[in-house]
Structure 1
Amino acid sequence: MIRKTVIRASVILLVCATVFVPAWSQAAEAHSVVVSIKPLHALVAGVMAGAGTPKLLLEGGQSPHTYTLKPSDAHALAQADAVFWIGPALEDFLVKPIAALPRASVRVTLSEAAGVHLLPIREGGAWEPHAHGDAHDDAHHAAGKGNHDHDHDHEGAVQSRDPHLWLDPANAQAMVDAIEAALAQARPADAATFHRNAADLKARLGARDSALANQLAPLKGRPYIVYHDAYQYLEARYGLSPAGAITLDPDRPVSAKRIAEIRAKITATGTACVFAEPQFPPAIMATVVEGTGARTGLLDPLGADLSPGPDAYFTLLDGLARSLVACLG
């Protein structure tokens, strides 16, 4: 009798475990979402809040220009129902893995999202001030047109457009719309949650955009140099005055000739500050600014040291603004 009671109890526990535990875990696995870089991950996490957490591929200070997929990354991609990335111009390491995903997977190239305004890649690094003015005018002209013309050849656009588009909060708002639509397609049962979260997130982005405009307005006309040309969207949005970049290609060492060119640019433009990045070697900075009177600062377009999550995008923008004000102000 006792043995039968124990067996019945074991069966009941086994049934409960089968019904409740796997049902939850299978649901979580069935709706996996993968995001390439931290700023995008923050936007996706904000839209998903209360309905799951996306997986981030580049978790630390790695550069998307040089990143190599880990086995765990490849496994996550293979299991994903939705994948979000900027596109091949930034995350070249994802081109083949995304192409190999099952046809049922939702793949979102956010550089092609409706409403995202793209700027042309600036040729060279030590560009002249009038070139930046043209880009700034183009950005405002595009903003006045509404949706960007996405009927052009996207393959050609990949080669000619600056991929650091997340540093414009207006682009972030457009990306939130694309993220919401893609998640609703992958998880229709949670569409109402995604819609509510997206509306809240876009309102918050609008408020932060206004605050940044006020904070950065006093810096207009003050030249500075960055490590590589990753900030064009931030500069165009807020009317900043970059004088050039140390490196023309972040994948290659900086030559002595290039250092001499940048030192001459610092002197010629009266550059107040030269900014390093945590993803790239800092030792070169002392050589670049030696004897020029320019100060050094740190800008991070990816948020290398930030904790992933819905607030990371806002913390990233705030950190960039603080660094610019501290060095240029």
Structure 2
Amino acid sequence: MIYKNFFSNILIHLILSYLIVFYAHANILVSIKPIGFIASAIADGIMPVDILVPNGASEHSYILRPSDEKKLQDTDLLIWNGPDAEPFMAKSVFNISSNKTIVLTDIKEIQKFFIPINSNNCKDNSKHVCKNNVDSSFNSKTYNIHFWTSPDVARNIAITIHKKLLQLMPQKKDKLNENLKQFELSLNNTDKKIMIELAPIRNKGYFVFHDAYVYFEKHYGLSSMGYFTKNPEIQPGLKHLYEIKKTIKENKVVCIFSEPQFKVSVIDSLIKGTKVNQGVLDPLGSNIKLSKDSYLTFLLQLSNQYQSCLKNKK
């Protein structure tokens, strides 16, 4: 009996020691910063969140470094958007256990919000999103991949992360439940606030640099007239620029938005001598630090960026 108790105590000690070491070094790794904003809210007070694609870099052209490869292999939970949305990661993620990964484009609760590329029939939907029958193989040629700007999608991403972390650490159930409840409450309040703030500018026309804002625009009923390019690494064609210039001359455009990651001199020449404002939209929240409230800050920043350029014409 004495030996039995002795070995039981050793076993308990070893398990506790393992858990202490695990929680001291455990982390969540996400592909891009906006997903990290949501993960930080759910994992607040539990484990840190790291971002793979650094500030100033584009997920459209990023190449993994050796240090990134090590992060991928060492992480306890990887959250990314899947091989079609983020092909630069696909080969490196192949050997990571599915138990340690969340592929957001595979989640059915998220798929139902996906917006088809060039879709014009979503705006009148009651929540400004499209209801689609998305199959299990997400295709970025069919659906817009910038879904993190939608509050509805963000809520479902948070629920997915919460569910996964509960599986990994059930003893943290109370804290995880508290974090999710607070995130959903704060998100709902922020969403209502932005809906009211953007109402006066819903009918004002504008162009964005690339198609990264469709989900935000559909959700809040904004009136985008199009974008310069689908891939920000590729300059827009002359025919497309001519069409934009023609729209500007017809006095239908209040603002043209650029992005902090890309310098586009063509915008300056397009609006020269016109009354069109020039604004900046940041689809990645590059200047925002990770915290439990960072996703809310991200939405509010986007809202403010739209308002500052669309409220007043030159």
TM-score range, shorter chain: 0.7 to 0.9
Instruction: Supply the AA of the counterpart residue of 1:27.
Output: Y
1:96 CA displacement = 1.6
| Cα deviation code 1:265-302 (max 9, x no counterpart) | 22236100000001212322201212332110000110
**Could you say if the C-alpha distance between residues 92 and 310 of structure 1 is closer, same or farther in structure 2, counting changes exceeding 3 Å?**
farther
Contact 2:84 2:138 in 1 (8 A): no
| Cα deviation code 1:191-222 (max 9, x no counterpart) | 33212211110111111110010000001110
CA distance in 1, matches of 2:84, 2:197: 31
Aligned to 2:172: 190
CA distance in 2, matches of 1:23, 1:192: 18
Aligned to 2:93: 98
Aligned to 1:86: 81
| Cα deviation code 1:170-199 (max 9, x no counterpart) | 111111110101111222222332122111
1:57 CA displacement = 1.0
Question: Of residues 285, 302, 310 in structure 2, which corresponds to 1:320?
Answer: 302
Aligned to 1:63: 58
CA distance in 2, matches of 1:61, 1:154: 32
Listed as ranges, the gaps of 5+ residues in structure 1 are: 1-17, 124-130
Structure of larger gyration radius: 1
CA distance in 1, matches of 2:19, 2:101: 26
2:33 is the alignment partner of 1:51? no
Aligned to 2:122: 135
Aligned to 2:104: 110
Higher helix share: 1
Instruction: Supply the AA of the counterpart residue of 1:135.
Output: C
2:242 is the alignment partner of 1:242? no
**Could you say if the C-alpha distance between residues 88 and 219 of structure 1 is closer, same or farther in structure 2, counting changes exceeding 3 Å?**
farther
2:54 is the alignment partner of 1:72? no
- SS of the residue aligned with 1:154? coil
Listed as ranges, the gaps of 5+ residues in structure 2 are: 1-13
Give the ranges of 4+ consecutive aligned residues of structure 1 lying more than 4 Å apart after TM superposition.
18-26
- SS of the residue aligned with 1:227? strand
1:107 CA displacement = 1.4
Matches within 5 A, 1:166-205: 166-205=148-187
- Percentage identity across paired residues of the two chains: 29
Aligned to 2:233: 251
Instruction: Supply the AA of the counterpart residue of 1:113.
Output: I
Q: TM-score, normalised by structure 1?
A: 0.82
Matches within 5 A, 1:293-304: 293-304=275-286
Contact 1:223 1:269 in 2 (8 A): no
CA distance in 2, matches of 1:141, 1:300: 21
CA distance in 2, matches of 1:312, 1:142: 23
Question: Of residues 99, 102, 116 in structure 2, which corresponds to 1:120?
Answer: 116
Matches within 5 A, 1:7-46: 24-29=20-25, 31-46=26-41
**Could you say if the C-alpha distance between residues 291 and 154 of structure 1 is closer, same or farther in structure 2, counting changes exceeding 3 Å?**
farther
Aligned to 2:246: 264
